[in-house]
Amino acid sequence: MGGDTIFALATARGKAGVAVLRLSGPDAAAMAEALCGPLPPPRRAGLRDLRHDGELIDRPLVLRFEAGASFTGEAVVELHLHGAPVIADRVMDLLEGQGARPAGPGEFTRRAFANGTLDLLEVEGLGDLLDAETEAQRRQAMRLAGGDAETVLSRWKDALTEALAWCEASLEFDDGDIPEDVRPKVREIVDPVLAELAVERRGIGAAERIRDGFTVALIGAPNVGKSTLINKIAGREIALVSPEAGTTRDRLEVPLDLRGLAVRLVDTAGIREADGVERLGIDRALEVATEADLRVYLGPPPPDAPEPRSGDILVAAKADLSTVPDGVSGLTGEGVDRLLDRIAGTLSRRAASSGTFARRRHADLLAAFSEAMASVIAALEADALEIAAEGLWSALHVLDRLLGRTDVEDVLDRLFASFCIGK
């Protein structure tokens, strides 16, 4: 991959102090040199005059990276231009005139993957990092992008490869150095992998919620104050407030950043006996309540509402009209900060159990890995070493799929389509 040279802005378009234009490919250095003259040594910045037909276009800061020592694994040059869009446009026209072409979405990162400077898990982490909006999302994305998942999988691969070697040696060789029964040795090797695997699989749900955001539903009877409360939290009127019961017909959401966690707070229709359009709104409210990660019940749970689950929050509503302690009022703001702290605390405890892996693809492949390892254990217990060896080969293949070394073209197409141009 990467027989041609590509270019793109690595910074956002628009007027700015600096616009970083990145080139990658076999002719990157030669093309930059045709515009800027001799380039600085690799990984050392140098100020250069960028000219065309003797005309001074700009004085950019130039950085050069040799093939094998760059993000993409190819020769890369970065031109740190002044940030007027007209300058970047002129330079890109000149590069295109030399035979370079504009990069597609995620093409720099795809070249990095193809050239082995990033594995698929690191690429996914980079995508999550670019999309991160909260501190928890940033930290989790960095675990993938920084290679934490690859470290875990490499440790598992080393263990399974050693276990496979014991199985194969027992099957192929009659050597006094090999125990007559290698099964205890194989179990000694793979049991720690199984223990780690169980922890990682349990942590995927919380990791997905950190990545995608937690959903918190406000549940209560009509006119209990849900819409007033969500308006107060949002700091603007997003829900119609009326003394007439049943005015909320559809879900209304407020995105929040609570202690670094992405949260969608959802206002739902008041739950009561009703028909017509209001009934449709109530059915949607019940659906949201069932699927939400956390429910906040304002006032006593209505008769038809789902039973509170462990961790759900029950709080007295309209604290401005009552003497109930620790209540909440969307009208005056009383207890709102306290309620948000309770929500954040509950979700933070759940987020603490997150694992290294955070995507549905990871969950599916870890499930397949678990199935392969279960077949290994069953074969060992049945003294069927050949079947155990086949199971270990299958498990190793699943780990390669996680790392993106096999069967990933469809995944790559979807993944890189979501990347910005220039990355």
Annotated binding residues for Mg(2+), written as ranges, equal 227, 248
- Please state the residue numbers annotated as binding site: 223-228, 242-248, 267-270
CA within 13 Å, CB half, 227: 22
Q: Which residues are annotated as a binding site for GTP?
A: 223-228, 242-248, 267-270
Burial environment of residue 112 by CB neighbours within 10 A (0 to 12, 13 to 18, 19 or more): buried
